[in-house]
Structure 1
Amino acid sequence: MGSYLVRRFLLMALTLFGMSILIFVMLRLVPGDIADILVDAAGIADAKEKAKIAKELGLDRPILEQYGQWIGGLSRGDLGFAYVSERPAIEEIAPRIPISAKLTLMALFFSIILGVPFGVISAVRQNTALDYSLRVISLSGLSLPSFWLGLLVLMASVHWFGTIPIYTNEPRGFLQEVGLLAIPAAVVGFRSSALIMRLTRSSMLEVMRQDYIRTARSKGASNTSVNYNHALRNALLPVVTVIGIEAAFLVGGLIVTETVFNIPGVARFLVEAIRWRDYPIVQNLVMLIAFVVVTVNFLVDMAYMVLDPRIKYAD
């Protein structure tokens, strides 16, 4: 177990290192930079003035030197300065992380709390009216784009309640914060819950056809014991994998939801930084998302051992 963890952490570090190179290189392959944007916005046509701005921002240095400076600062916790606001990047990013984290966790909770139970019910009540209804709902969740569903929720809120559930920076309590984020979390989590429900159903049906399930029934085990103690635990392995993938997807897939509901989170800020070619912000935000994805994959691997004792990671 110990050697496996060491290898796993080394693989995570190597993956993040490769991601850092890819992020850095691809960002600079895009035509134009912050100096071009600032010069065009100010209506400056002087090439010398543009070169002066590029020098002040460090864009005239060799690529390897810029990369080394970024990685060195990242290892020390120094994320550099945002080109647009001229403030430390950490001051721009840090306030937005808790907002996106709460939205992501609530959306994931919504997905799991609806997807898994309804998937189990649909499998246990296979080919009944309830099963057909749940399958129609799941197909609807997979078919409806999140941004369109979000706009429908906003229009329905205006029509029925006369207000729009838009996020504001006004001080509020914890319960008010949760209530305000619950609507966009449900919107973005609806698709994930539909996917988890369908996968749980198919996985449960496959497990329930296994020989050991028939053996348990023949020994007189109750339906509740067979379905939830024997079948569900084994059926959850592929579901946990998808939950991990969806968690990673939600981290980077909140752009439209945060824009529609005016949520000042990480994803919306990333789009603005890309538009302005604000390299320090874009690099650090994408690295943050990459770190979350790699960490979630590691936690999914660890969850396998808890759910299935047959899985062993030898030293």
Structure 2
Amino acid sequence: MFAYIVRRLVLMLVTLFGVSVVIFVLLHIVPGNIVDILFAAAGYVDPADKVHLQQELGLDQPIVVQYLRWICGLLHGDLGYSYVSEKPALDEILPRIPITARLAGLALLFSASIGIPLGVISAVNQGSRLDYALRVVSLSGLSLPSFWLGLLILMASVSLFGSIPIFNPDPKTFGEMFATYCLPSMAVGFRSAALTMRITRSSMLEILRQDYIRTARAKGASEAAVNYHHALKNAILPVITVIGVEAAFLIGGLIVTETVFNIPGVARFLVEAIRWRDYPIVQNLVMFIAVIVVFANFTVDMLYAVFDPRIRYTD
């Protein structure tokens, strides 16, 4: 087990190294840079000033030197400075991480707490009207774009209460935090809940046809024990995979939702940084998202061994 974990950690480092190279190269081969954008709005400028600014930002150096300087700073906790605000990149990014983390966490909680029970109910009542109704709901969740659902929620709020929800970036109590993040998390978590429900239903239907389920019923086990102890316990692995993938997706996939609800999170800030060619911000944010994705995949693999005793990672 220890050797497997070490191999996985080494593989994670190699993956992150490859991601960092791809991010840096792609960002620097895109036409235009921050110097061109800054001087484009100023009309005629002295070429000497433009060259001086490129030297000051280090953009005149070879791309390999720029990459090594960024990686060395990253390893020492120095993320550089934002080209736009001229503030340390760490000071720009850190306040936005808790906002996106709360939104993604609440959306994931909504997804799991709604999707898994409804998936079990749909599988147990296969072919019934309730099953068909839940399948229509899940199909609707997969079909509705989150930004359109968010706009519907805002329109409904204006129609019912005469105002739109005001985002509170610094809630003091759990109640304030829940009220602030409830609507946007439901808008983005509805799709994840629908996907979780369909995967749970499909996996449960496969397990419910197994011989040991019929044996448990023949021995007099209750329906609740059969469905939740025997069946769901063995059907949970695909669900864990989906939840892990969704957890990684939500960190970087909240761009539209944060824009619709005017939430100053990581995803929205990333889009703004890309538009302004703010290299330090873009590079560090994409690396942060890559770390979350890699760590989520590693966590899913470890949870496999916890939920399924048949899985053992040998040395």
Alignment TM-score > 0.5, same fold: yes
Give me the CA root mean square deviation: 1.1
Relative to structure 2, which stretch is displaced further, 36-45 or 279-288?
36-45
TM-score normalised by structure 2 residue count = 0.98
For 1:214-233, list aligned pairs within 5 A: 214-233=214-233
Which amino acid is the alignment partner of residue 88 of structure 2?
Answer: P
Could you say which residue in structure 2 is the equivalent of 1:68? 68
For 1:82-231, list aligned pairs within 5 A: 82-169=82-169, 172-231=172-231
- CA shift, 1:169, in A, is 4.2
Which amino acid is the alignment partner of residue 113 of structure 2?
Answer: I
Could you say which residue in structure 1 is the equivalent of 2:28? 28
Q: Secondary structure at the match of 2:41?
A: helix
Which amino acid is the alignment partner of residue 38 of structure 1?
Answer: L
- CA shift, 1:171, in A, is 6.0
Which amino acid is the alignment partner of residue 114 of structure 1?
Answer: I
The answer to whether the 8 Å contact 1:166/1:263 transfers is no
Which amino acid is the alignment partner of residue 118 of structure 2?
Answer: F
Which amino acid is the alignment partner of residue 194 of structure 1?
Answer: A
Q: Secondary structure at the match of 1:230?
A: helix
Measure, in 2, the Cα distance between the counterparts of 1:166 and 1:100. 16
Which amino acid is the alignment partner of residue 297 of structure 1?
Answer: N
The answer to whether the 8 Å contact 2:150/2:184 transfers is yes
The answer to whether the 8 Å contact 1:19/1:290 transfers is yes
Cα deviation code 1:91-148 (max 9, x no counterpart): 0001000000000000000000000000000111111111111111101100000000
Cα deviation code 1:33-76 (max 9, x no counterpart): 00000011222343322212111111001111100000000000
Q: Secondary structure at the match of 1:82?
A: coil
The answer to whether the 8 Å contact 2:258/2:268 transfers is yes
Q: Secondary structure at the match of 2:140?
A: helix
Which amino acid is the alignment partner of residue 22 of structure 2?
Answer: L
Query: In the alignment, is residue 19 of structure 1 matched against residue 19 of structure 2?
Result: yes
Measure, in 2, the Cα distance between the counterparts of 1:268 and 1:231. 41
Cα deviation code 1:212-269 (max 9, x no counterpart): 1112222222222111111101111111001111111111100000000000000000
- CA shift, 1:173, in A, is 3.2
The answer to whether the 8 Å contact 2:99/2:169 transfers is no
Measure, in 1, the Cα distance between the counterparts of 2:103 and 2:258. 9
Measure, in 2, the Cα distance between the counterparts of 1:3 and 1:168. 46
The answer to whether the 8 Å contact 2:33/2:277 transfers is yes
The answer to whether the 8 Å contact 2:273/2:281 transfers is yes
Could you say which residue in structure 2 is the equivalent of 1:42? 42
Measure, in 2, the Cα distance between the counterparts of 1:43 and 1:174. 51
Which amino acid is the alignment partner of residue 300 of structure 1?
Answer: V
Q: Secondary structure at the match of 1:42?
A: coil
Which amino acid is the alignment partner of residue 223 of structure 2?
Answer: N
Gaps of 5+ in 2: none
Structure 1 residues 98, 170: closer, same or farther in 2, change over 3 A?
closer
Relative to structure 2, which stretch is displaced further, 268-277 or 47-56?
47-56
Could you say which residue in structure 1 is the equivalent of 2:306? 306
TM-score normalised by structure 1 residue count = 0.98
Which amino acid is the alignment partner of residue 146 of structure 1?
Answer: S
Q: How many residues align?
A: 315
Query: In the alignment, is residue 296 of structure 1 matched against residue 296 of structure 2?
Result: yes
Structure 1 residues 219, 168: closer, same or farther in 2, change over 3 A?
closer
Could you say which residue in structure 1 is the equivalent of 2:279? 279
Which amino acid is the alignment partner of residue 116 of structure 2?
Answer: V
Measure, in 2, the Cα distance between the counterparts of 1:215 and 1:260. 52
Gaps of 5+ in 1: none
